[in-house]
Amino acid sequence: MEKRPLGRSGLAIAPLVLGGNVFGWTTDEATSFALIDAFVDRGFTMVDTADVYSTWVEGHQGGESETIIGKWLKRGGARDKIQIATKVGMPMPAGKGLSKAHILAAADASLKRLRTDYIDLFQAHIDDPATPLDETLSAFADLVAAGKVRAIGASNYVAPRLADALDIASAKHLPRFTCLQPHYNLVNRALFEGGLQDLCRREGVGVIPYYALAAGFLTGKYRSEADLEGRARARTVSHYLDPRGLDILAVLDKIAARYQASPAQIALAWLLAQPGITAPIVSATSLAQLDEILPAAEIKLDADALSRLDRVSA
């Protein structure tokens, strides 16, 4: 499988990233192990998680997803076959933000839970305006120098702040953000397209968008309020159940039929065709879901399909 360079990080990754946000939440430990096994066996490489996964679940403290990945490694998962991406900055019992002290302490806590000596991609989960950017980048520099982190990235940054961070890194010879993790998919294009996308392309910043399937909406399984009953992400998906969202599903259905594919595969193939995109993040709660998603990496949409999806989602 062809791997794509992740910005200027020196990392090359397969064209889909496995989202670990579900580990220990909507997938138990055994299912999470099976998902990682299948993902790696198919030639994919990067698993994305965060220290904060999954504090929103009653009784959880955060770190549950990282802990499951660490147990997978201890069970015999090959460290050289997997690239681990995790994040810091969201509220945790031990603190939040991107101060140097918090980043260094959080990195050590993540490494302990992950049962590994290094993190392939360590990301600032959300911008922290209260902390100077050079302080944040200095903390990442210490982690890189210590061999605990291979590359750094940002998540949920707006274009001006990402540009400032890149400029400071260059001026002060600090590690640069080589990757951005934005919210980006067919039904939510405005947050990334435009200035942020242009900046990433101009500066050679890799892009691994999250919510690539809009919390499952773009799979086509949610087409009415009745379909949302009892679903973990009902509140998120309900925002897409409007005429525009249903029009997007209708076009996905038609293109999927032509390609003998699923709507989810076509939605991911559209993302992979967008300028500057390295690899969308995809989550699955069963092996059947994973088997449906992964073939998207091999689908190349023609100009007509891309144009139709562009128009209906504009």
Q: Looking at this protein, which amino acid is placed at residue 225?
A: E
What distances in angstroms separate CA 28 from CA 1, 67, 177, one per listed residue? 29, 12, 33
Output the six-digit token pair for 180.
Answer: 């951005």
With b meaning 16 or more CB within 10 Å and e meaning fewer, what string describes 231-244?
A: beeeeebbebbeee
**CA count, 13 A, side-chain hemisphere, 303:** 0
List 53, 157, 184, 211, catalytic entry: 53
Distance of CA 185 to the CA centre of its chain: 12
Secondary structure of 13-30 in HEC code, one letter for each residue? ECCCEEEHHHECCCECHH
Residue 157 falls in the annotated catalytic set: no
DSSP string, 69-119: HHHHHHHT--GGG-EEEEEE-S-BTTB-S--HHHHHHHHHHHHHHHT-S-E
Cβ atoms < 10 Å from Cβ of 229: 8
Catalytic residues: 53
